[in-house]
Amino acid sequence: MRDYYTLKVNMPAGIVSPGALQTVLRLAYEAKVRKVRFGARQQLLMTVHYEDMRFLEKDLKQHQISYELNTEQYPNIISSYCGEDVFRTGAWLRESEYHTVLDQFDYQPRLKINLSDSNQSFTPFFTGNLNFIASPEPHFWYLYVRPKQSNNLFRWPELIYTNDIGRVAKAVEETLLAQDFQGEDALYKAVTANQHFITQPATHEVELPEFSLPYYEGFNRYGERSWLGLYRRDEQFTIAFLLDVCALCLKTRVGEICATPWKSLIIKGIEAKDRAAWSQVLGKHNINVRHAANELAWQTEDHTDEGTELKHYVIRNFEKNDTRTFGLCFGVQTRAKSEVFGSVLIRKRPLLQLGQLSLFSVYDLYYTENFNPNSRTYHVFEKGLFRMHVPNQLNRLCRKFNASRSQDRAETAWVETEKPEPSPGVEATVHQCPHCFTVYDEQYGDARHGDARRNIPAGTPFSQLPTNYTCSTCDAPKQEMTPVQLIAVP
């Protein structure tokens, strides 16, 4: 008999109401669970001792909460909803459209389904079996199908109307699971033979943005409100902390909590008057929200600490060597059939296999086409590395990436039209936030800083800013901002 079970509760599209999450967490706490995780597919995960599992199962069934034990028969639907409004606002895709789509799923999908805004790079596009991506045409979506146990991806010949996504997904799933995959044309004909969907011809491939992972931790302003990103180094959140988060959400009328594919949480819609209360909760539980950006750009597998340990081992080396990783994200794969999202993939494999026994593990390094993590094409960088050699080889790969970007910029600059030359010898000093890289330049002041009473007028030197001044993007304190020299070169 197993000593522990892994229990999973799906949160469709990574969205959960504070009240619903509070109920699950209270039941888990009564079953002696003290910490939980959020998975790469935006689901809630916890480890439960077998003696307490039967009581927790009884309570979950009584509250009609769906769950799975040690299985992945019903993968969670994931989406880019967590970044909507806070990282960008789509041309037509808004939070209401996501809810319209989710309301159509009156069944539990057995295939992985992704719902993505095409103009963001915070969440993956193609890690699902059915990947719906918003098109430039309002209320129509691309569909990219990847059959199970396959790396082959093909585009559905038509754009799907928002209100038909649920029906299309169900029809494609039933067809794929009912028979062996016989090719794209056969699948399309089988799905559309007896059903009518509102569609438009899909004449072009989807245009994906260049990858850039936004800084997703800490307090950040958007509009008149703030959002809070929560990340934990060990990927575990205490139930005591999350219960306080749920209670404060309910008290301040924050209606949703969003899980991200980076195993973190985003809480939107925090009013300025409630910021002190949120800071108090973070302080009560000693929650730090000032981690370096290179630590946030990692995705590890669910249900294992091995990838997290390797991540921390590499990050320590990055910090020691001051390695630049901006523009990259890293995935750690320790199991053969798992999938992680990354422009750089660290894949563990046994050097020697004796039946079910693996001996002398080594690591292979891969990078995606153009270092875009949404690419399905991987290139080998190094193979057969021992663990101690992985950080140095990743440093080499980072330099390769940075050199390629420098070359791209140089080629772009070569064809640009000539611009007026700056005056030689002119120097300026700005102050940059080390966390989100926002710059304070006294030439412009800070018109975005809080409400109108706190706006910093142009011409205000950094030394004359109030002592309680904070970064206008992530609220890092003034004393953490560092001076940067800007020199106009003749």
Based on the fold, state whether residues 445 and 347 are members of the same structural domain: no
Q: Is residue 335 part of a domain?
A: yes
Based on the fold, state whether residues 451 and 373 are members of the same structural domain: no
Based on the fold, state whether residues 108 and 171 are members of the same structural domain: yes
Q: Which residues contact 151 (CB under 8 A, 6 or more apart)?
A: 376
Q: Judge whether 474 and 439 are in contact, CB under 8 Å.
A: no
Looking at the chain, how many residues does it have?
490
Q: Judge whether 171 and 195 are in contact, CB under 8 Å.
A: yes
pLDDT of residue 191: 93
Cα 42 to its chain centre, rounded Å, is: 9
Residue type at position 220? N
Cα–Cα distance measured from residue 433 to residue 15, given in angstroms and rounded to the nearest whole number: 30
Q: Is residue 218 part of a domain?
A: no
Per-residue pLDDT of 255-300, as tens digits, reads 999 999 999 999 999 999 999 999 999 999 999 998 999 999 999 9
- Strands in 330-333's sheet, in edge-to-edge order, are 298-300, 330-333, 344-354, 357-368, 378-385
User: By C-alpha distance, which of 348, 411, 410, 347 is closest to 379?
Assistant: 347
Residue 298: strand pairing partners: 330
pLDDT of residue 449: 52
CATH at residue 404: 3.30.413
Burial of 389 (0-12, 13-18, 19+ CB in 10 A): middle
CA distances from 475 to 274, 319, 440, 472 (A): 15, 23, 13, 6
Cα–Cα distance measured from residue 363 to residue 345, given in angstroms and rounded to the nearest whole number: 10
Based on the fold, state whether residues 302 and 394 are members of the same structural domain: yes
Can you list the residues of the chain whose pLDDT is less than 70? 1-2, 89, 181, 408-427, 435-437, 447-454, 486-490
pLDDT of residue 246: 98
- Tally of domains in the chain: 3
What predicted TM-score, i.e. pTM, was given to this entire model? 0.84
pLDDT of residue 464: 86
Q: Judge whether 227 and 233 are in contact, CB under 8 Å.
A: no
Based on the fold, state whether residues 481 and 395 are members of the same structural domain: no
Q: Is residue 79 part of a domain?
A: no
Domain boundary (415, 439, 464) is at 415
Based on the fold, state whether residues 395 and 466 are members of the same structural domain: no
Q: Strands 130-134 and 140-145: what pairing?
A: antiparallel
Q: Which domain holds residue 406?
A: 297-415
Q: Is residue 365 part of a domain?
A: yes
Q: Is residue 115 part of a domain?
A: yes
The beta-carbon contacts of 28-36 under 8 Å, at least 24 apart in sequence, are: 28/56, 28/239, 29/239, 29/243, 30/55, 30/56, 30/59, 31/55, 31/56, 31/59, 33/239, 34/238, 34/239, 34/240, 35/236, 35/237, 35/238, 35/239, 36/236, 36/237, 36/239, 36/242
- Residue 432 tokens, joined: 């940059």
The strand ranges marked E within 168-239 are 199-201, 218-222, 225-230, 237-238
pLDDT of residue 427: 58
CATH at residue 443: 2.20.28.10
Based on the fold, state whether residues 307 and 348 are members of the same structural domain: yes
Based on the fold, state whether residues 190 and 105 are members of the same structural domain: yes
The strand ranges marked E within 338-433 are 344-354, 357-368, 378-385, 427-432
pLDDT of residue 426: 46
Based on the fold, state whether residues 301 and 405 are members of the same structural domain: yes
Q: Is residue 224 part of a domain?
A: no
Q: Is residue 154 part of a domain?
A: yes
Based on the fold, state whether residues 477 and 406 are members of the same structural domain: no
Based on the fold, state whether residues 108 and 169 are members of the same structural domain: yes
Cα–Cα distance measured from residue 350 to residue 203, given in angstroms and rounded to the nearest whole number: 44
Q: Is residue 363 part of a domain?
A: yes
Based on the fold, state whether residues 459 and 364 are members of the same structural domain: no
Q: Judge whether 249 and 257 are in contact, CB under 8 Å.
A: yes
Domain boundary (137, 168, 201) is at 201
pLDDT of residue 355: 72
- Residue burial 451-461, b: 16+ Cβ < 10 Å; e: rest: eeeeebeeebe
Domain boundary (167, 201, 235) is at 201
